[in-house]
Amino acid sequence: MDINGTLRLHLYDPTHMETDEGALLLCPVEFQTHSKSSSLIRVAKYDTFNTSMMLDTSRIVVVQLDGAVSILDSLSPDAFKRLSLLQGQLVRHVQHMAGLNPRSYRSGQSGSSGAGRSLSKGILDGSLLRSFKMLTLPKQRAIASQIGETFDKIMLDCMDLDSEPW
């Protein structure tokens, strides 16, 4: 995270042409937090059913100067795909605070290397995804059918966002 509140996730891929055989890192994701961070803390993840078993992944807790606390967490590729499609529908269907569009508010500033591509594609907005559970049941089912997934899978993915133990 830089001093302007821009979070960049870097990727090591020696097979990609732009990395010069692994000498350079790729920056596929850039996310604007609009707040300067004071610290980043890495916390181990534990199994949902067996809280004494630590997993190979971890989450990052971001503490910001304005008092906000954010969590960066990993998802399975299938859950990410479903929730990404859900987020796209929620941006269009949910009324946003003060009329702000979360997509344009969170979009990163693409530099010379990122021109012409969306840099915020790899990050999901948990607050926006949690709003899905607040919609009426018919609206939830309609959105789930619009993205081509079952309501049960989408609801399980949304519940997993909140239920994982520290």
Q: What is the pLDDT of residues 88-101, one digit of tens each?
A: 888 877 776 666 66
| DSSP at 11 | E
What percent of the chain has pLDDT above 90? 13
Q: How many CB atoms lie within 10 A of CB 158?
A: 21
Q: Helix (H, G, I), strand (E, B), or coil: what is residue 112?
A: coil
pTM above 0.85, yes or no: no
DSSP assignments along 17-86, one per residue: GGGTTTTS-EEEEEEE-SS-EEEEEEEEEE-SS-TTSEEEEEEEEEEETTS-EEEE----HHHHHHHHHH
Model confidence at 104, pLDDT cuts 50, 70, 90, reads low
- State the distance between the two ends of the chain, measured CA to CA, in whole angstroms: 23
